[in-house]
Structure 1
Amino acid sequence: MKKPLKVLAAIALTASMLGPAGSVFAKDDFRDFKEDQMKQRGETFRVLITATSDQELQQLQQSYELRNEFDGHSYTTDVTAKEFEALQNLPHITVEKVDVLSIQIDPSSLKVNDEMDAAAASQSVPWGIKAIYNDNNLTYTTGGSNVRIAVLDTGVNVNHSDLYYNAEQCKDFTQSASLVNNTCTDRNGHGTHVAGTALGEGGDDRRGVYGVAPNAKLWAYKVLNDSGSGYEDDIANAIRHAADQAYSQRVNVVINMSLGSNGESSLITNAVNYAYDRGVLIVAAAGNDGFSPGSIDYPAALPSAIAVANLENRLENGTFRVANSSSRGHSRTAGDYVIQTGDVELSAPGTSIFSTWYNGGYATISGTSMATPHVAGLAAKIWAENPSFTNVQLRSNLQNRAKSYDILGGYHAGRGDDIASGFGFARVR
C-alpha cells in the first residue's frame, strides 16, 4: 500500500506581518493571533519551521507546539491551512510541508491465518528463510546474538509467542508526546510481520515462525499509524534515537525500514547519514513501483542505505526471479558495483512471505517490505559472528555474498550488478 506525498521545497517567507523595526510578533500579539486562528481550526498537517535565531524559535513554540526538533533552529509542528499561510508571512522564517511515507506491500497478496493450522504449520520455516539459508530441509534457524534489529514500522505485537523473548525496546514515535516508552501497539500487522521474518524464534513449542536471526534482540519502534503511513519527522526522530541508543549502549544495530516515498526528505536523509556515521547499518525497501528504470523509493535510494529488491519463489534462467512490481535502479549506473543514489543493492525473498501477525496469528504478504527483513536478519546473523566488524565492513560482506549468487530472472536482470537485483542475493552460505 503506497500513498506518498511529494516533498515540497522550502518556501522563503515574505515580511508582510512585521512589527516595529521589522521584528517578528511580540509574544502577546502572537497569542492573540493564535487564538483567533484556533477558532477557525480544521484539518491539520505537519510542517517544518526553520528560524534564524533561538529567540524567534522560542516565540514560535509558544504558539505552535514543538513536536520534533532538528539541527538547533528547526522544529516540526501541526498547523491548519490558514496557520500555514500566516506562517508564510513571518520574516526570517522558512516553512515546508512534511512528507508522508508508507509501507511497501502488495495489499492484494494478504492472507491471514488466525492460528498455526495444519496448512500453515508447514511454513514454520518459510520458503524465504530456507532460500536465504540455502537449505530446503531447514527445520529451525540460529544466530544474531547481541545484535539489535530496530524495526521502524506500524509497531509490533511484542507479546506474540514467536517474538516475546526477543523484545528489548518498545517505543511509539507517533503520539503527541513524540516519544512514548513501553508501547508500540500494532493494529495494522505490517510491523509484526516484518519482525517475524527478521528474528522470529519459533515460540515455546517451536512450532511457530522462524526468522533469519532468532537470537537477535528486537527494538520495536512505531513510526507509522494504523493505516501504514507516517510523517517523515517522526521517522527521522526514530532513526536518530536508534543511532544514539546504539552509541550509548555500545551495541551493534541494524535498522529495518520497510517503508518509502517517491520523494527525498532532507530530514530522513540527514538522519540516515547520522545513523550510518554512528556505525548503524540501514536496510530499506526498494519500493513497489514496477520495473521501469529509476523507480527506487526513498530512503532506500540513499547511498548510505541498502536498497532491497523482491524475489519470487520461482526460477527463471536458473535463478530466482525479481518480481515485476519491485522497483528498479538507474540504467546509467548499472554494472559498476558502486552504490550511488537510486541504486538497488541487494535482493531477497519478498513474494508470498509467511510470518507473524498482529492478532497473534500469522499472515502471508508480498512486497519489498517483506524482502527487507530477510537482509536485516542476515546482517544481524553475520554481525553476531563478526562482532568487530564496522557497519561498512558488514555491508561489504553482504555485497560479496550477493555476488556469489547472481540473479538472472526478471525484467532488467542480468549478469553482474544490474538494476533489478543489484549485486545479487546475499545468503547465509
Structure 2
Amino acid sequence: MKKVKSTLFSLLIAGSLMSPANAATLGSEDNSTNNVGQEKFRVYIEANNQSAKQSAKAQYSARWELTENGFSTEMNEKQFQALQKNKNFTVTKVPVVSLDPINLELGEDYTTEDRTPDASAYARASQQVPWGIKAIYNNSSLTSTSGGSGVNIAVLDTGVNTSHPDLANTVEQCKDFTTATAVVNNSCTDRNGHGTHVAGSALADGGSDRGGVYGVAPDADLWAYKVLTDSGSGYSDDIAAAIRHAADQATSTGTKTIINMSLGSSANNSLISSAVNYAYSKGVLIVAAAGNSGYAQGTIGYPGALPNAIAVAALENVQQNGTYRVADYSSRGYASTDGDYVIQQGDIEISAPGSAIYSTWYNGSYNTISGTSMATPHVSGLAAKIWAQNPSWSHTQLRSNLQTRAKAVDIKGGYGAATGDDYASGFGFARVQ
C-alpha cells in the first residue's frame, strides 16, 4: 500500500506602498538584458482608489478582480519591488496552495484498484455502495442511492473526469480556473485523481448500466471547478474566484448550491475567507475539510476553520465506545469549546466517513484513499439530498438540520471524542436516517 500524505499550506507576504508615477517606469526597467529577478509570480494589487486601480490595470493584465479596488496579476521581482514603493498601492504575493508530503488532504491510505477501462468498455466497481455510503444511509444492505435533484454540488478541486461512466450523467458545469486565461469553460480535466474521487462520493450514480459506484446524492448536478493543478497545487486567488463564481451562478440560475472544498491551508487567507463570506451571504452552503493534522488541538485548516464553512472530521470504519471512531489524523478544534454547540472559528461541526473510502478515479477506474477530504463530500451529498426534499429551506435552515441530525448520532470513539459536542467529532455524525 502506497502512503500519500499532504496538506495545503500558504504564506501571505505583505507588501508595502508605492506611487503611480513609478509604475510608468517599470516597463523600461523590465526590458533590461539582465535576467535576474525576471521570473514571474502571482500578486494581488490593492489600490487606494479607482483611478489608481485603472492606472495599474493599464500596466498589468488583470486576472481576477476580487475586491472593489484590487486585482490579481503576474509580475517579476523587479516589478514587485518597484510597486512596493508606491504609496497608492498595497501589493501582496498570492499564496500558493500546495500538497505537503508530510500531512495530506489526499489521504492516509492510498491504493488504486486496477480497473482502467479498455477501448471497448469500462471495468465496473467492485464496491457499488462503499461502507461510508452505507453508514451515512444507516443501511448495511443498501444496494443503490437516490436524491439531490435540482441541487448543485460545486466541487472545487483538481478537476473531475467528467467522462467517468459513474459521473457523466451528473455533469452540468465543467470549468478550469487554473489556466493562463482567467476561466475556461467546458474544461476541468483531472490528472491527479483527488477531485474525481471527491465527486464520486458526493454524487456518483452507478453509471447507465448501474454497475458502478454510488455516491450519497446521485440526482444532484455536478459543477466541476478545477482550482488546483495536476500536481495538487494552486493559487488562492483562483480558488477565491471559483467560490465567487459558484455563488454568482447560483444566484443567476436561482438554484440551490453547495460548495465542496476538500482542500485547506494552515493560514487564513483573506481572499478565500472573503469569498466564503460572499458565497454564504448569497445563500450558498460551504462544506470544507477539517484537515489531516490531528490529533492535536487547534489544527483545523482554512477555509474549514471559518464560521461560515462546515468543518468536517473523518471517521474510520472502526467501532469504539459503541460508535464510529474519529481518525487520529483528523484535525481537531479546541477542548475549551466542548459542549457549547456553537460554531466558532476553528471548530469541528460534523463528522463523516473518511478512512478507506472507495470512489471514482481520474482514469475511469476506482480508488481507495483516506482523509478529511473524503469525509467532506459525504456531508455535501447529504446536504444536497436533504435540500432537495426541502426546497423552501434557506442554507441556514439546512445547516441547522444537519446539526440536529449530527446530535442524534453522537461520536465517542477517538482522541478527544466525548459525549455531546466535542473538539474531535463536533456535533456528531449526520446521517440520512
TM-score scaled to structure 2, two decimals? 0.93
Give CA deviations for 1:363-386 in whole Å, capped at 9, x if unaligned: 111000000000000000000000
2:102 match: none
Deviation at 1:68, TM superposition (A): 0.8
> Distance in 1 between the 2:85 and 2:7 partners?
30
**Residues 5-404 of structure 1: pairs in structure 2 closer than 5 A:** 5-8=9-12, 10-13=14-17, 15=18, 24-25=21-22, 27=24, 29-36=25-32, 39-40=35-36, 42-102=38-98, 104-106=105-107, 108-115=109-116, 121-404=125-408
Q: Is the 8 A contact 2:295 2:328 kept in 1?
A: yes
Deviation at 1:82, TM superposition (A): 3.0
Residues 345, 26 of structure 1: CA spacing in aligned structure 2 closer, same or farther, 3 A cutoff? closer
AA matched with 1:338 = V
Deviation at 1:338, TM superposition (A): 0.2
Deviation at 1:107, TM superposition (A): 5.6
> Distance in 1 between the 2:231 and 2:133 partners?
27
Deviation at 1:26, TM superposition (A): 6.7
1:410 match: 414
Deviates more, 1:334-343 or 1:96-105: 96-105
Deviation at 1:88, TM superposition (A): 1.4
AA matched with 2:210 = R
SS, match of residue 56 in structure 1: helix
Q: Is the 8 A contact 1:124 1:210 kept in 2?
A: yes
Q: Is the 8 A contact 1:169 1:218 kept in 2?
A: yes
Deviation at 1:102, TM superposition (A): 4.4
Deviation at 1:46, TM superposition (A): 1.6
> Distance in 1 between the 2:10 and 2:246 partners?
26
> Distance in 2 between the 1:2 and 1:233 partners?
21
Identity of aligned residues (%): 59
Deviation at 1:333, TM superposition (A): 1.4
Q: Is the 8 A contact 1:344 1:419 kept in 2?
A: yes
Deviation at 1:39, TM superposition (A): 4.5
C-alpha RMSD of the superposition: 2.0
SS, match of residue 175 in structure 2: strand
Give CA deviations for 1:330-354 in whole Å, capped at 9, x if unaligned: 1221210000000000000000000
AA matched with 1:111 = T
Deviation at 1:48, TM superposition (A): 1.1
Deviates more, 1:107-116 or 1:346-355: 107-116
SS, match of residue 224 in structure 2: strand
> Distance in 1 between the 2:29 and 2:113 partners?
51
Residues 289, 39 of structure 1: CA spacing in aligned structure 2 closer, same or farther, 3 A cutoff? same
> Distance in 2 between the 1:192 and 1:410 partners?
29
Q: Is the 8 A contact 2:10 2:98 kept in 1?
A: no
Query: Unaligned regions of 5+ residues in structure 1, if any?
Result: none
> Distance in 1 between the 2:45 and 2:426 partners?
38
Deviation at 1:121, TM superposition (A): 4.0
AA matched with 1:113 = D
AA matched with 1:24 = A
Number of aligned positions between the proteins: 421
Q: Is the 8 A contact 2:9 2:264 kept in 1?
A: no
SS, match of residue 348 in structure 1: strand
> Distance in 1 between the 2:373 and 2:416 partners?
21
> Distance in 1 between the 2:218 and 2:304 partners?
25
Deviation at 1:12, TM superposition (A): 2.7
AA matched with 1:47 = V
AA matched with 1:44 = K
AA matched with 2:115 = D
> Distance in 2 between the 1:291 and 1:206 partners?
39
Residues 115, 208 of structure 1: CA spacing in aligned structure 2 closer, same or farther, 3 A cutoff? farther
Deviates more, 1:363-372 or 1:72-81: 72-81
> Distance in 2 between the 1:121 and 1:356 partners?
9
Q: Is the 8 A contact 1:149 1:217 kept in 2?
A: yes
> Distance in 2 between the 1:127 and 1:337 partners?
28
